[in-house]
Amino acid sequence: MRPVHPTPSGSPLAIGAKLRATRLAQSLTMADVAAASGLSTGFISRVERDETSPSVSTLVTLCQVLSLNLGSLFEPPENEVVALVDAPLINMGGVKAVEHLLTPRSEARVQLLRSVLEPGASGGQELYTINCDVEVLHVLRGSLRVRLVSGAIDLAEGDTMTLAGREPHSWDNESDGVTELIWTIVPAAWSGSS
């Protein structure tokens, strides 16, 4: 029996999107990268659209200009699915609330929480803050009263509210029905290994 050797994958290696995203995240133009690397903007554009395969030395140069680890271009994307049935229960301090963490515990960029609030559920009498830059609340079902220093705001099904990070607030389900919410917290208020 002859040994079986691995064969190359038939799928092209798509690194252009990672290079482009890194460049844009640093607010660099193609002209900036071209000037720093000695490459033409047209060539950089073709690389970013995966229309050409750069040499290893060219990739090293681009990565140096972008302060990007060369190996990160070849890592598979980090995608993780959290099924609702597997989402861990968390306690954000509310009463009559069942809350699940929908993003991986290790995700530090954003947190998504799903809250199911029974009638009379509350975030507490005292206003509280969350250590984040922005907090977004979307009402999937039911209604919610959000209490702020400046007063109360009533949200209905389908409404979305954006709060500045560290804005003192609390909430109450004053309705006779169940309220279901999605909270988005950016960046994550906490993270740890899952």
- Tens digits of residue pLDDT in 151-189: 999 999 999 999 998 899 999 999 999 999 999 999 988
Q: How far, in Å, are 34, 66, 189 from residue 29 at the CA level?
A: 9, 11, 33
Rg of the chain over Cα atoms, rounded to whole angstroms, equals 24
Between CA 181 and CA 64 the distance in angstroms is 44
User: Which long-range contacts does 59-66 make (Cβ < 8 Å, 24+ apart)?
Assistant: 59/15, 61/37, 62/19, 62/33, 62/37, 65/33, 65/36, 65/37, 66/19, 66/22, 66/23, 66/26, 66/28, 66/33
CA neighbor of 30 nearest in space, from 5, 48, 10, 55? 48
Q: Is the dihedral of CA 86, 90, 95, 97 positive or negative?
A: negative
- Read off the pLDDT band of 34 (50, 70, 90): very high
DSSP helix/strand/coil, 97: strand
pTM: 0.63
Neighbours of 126 (CB within 10 A): 9
Q: Is the pLDDT of residue 23 over 60?
A: yes
DSSP state of 43: H
- Read off the pLDDT band of 6 (50, 70, 90): low
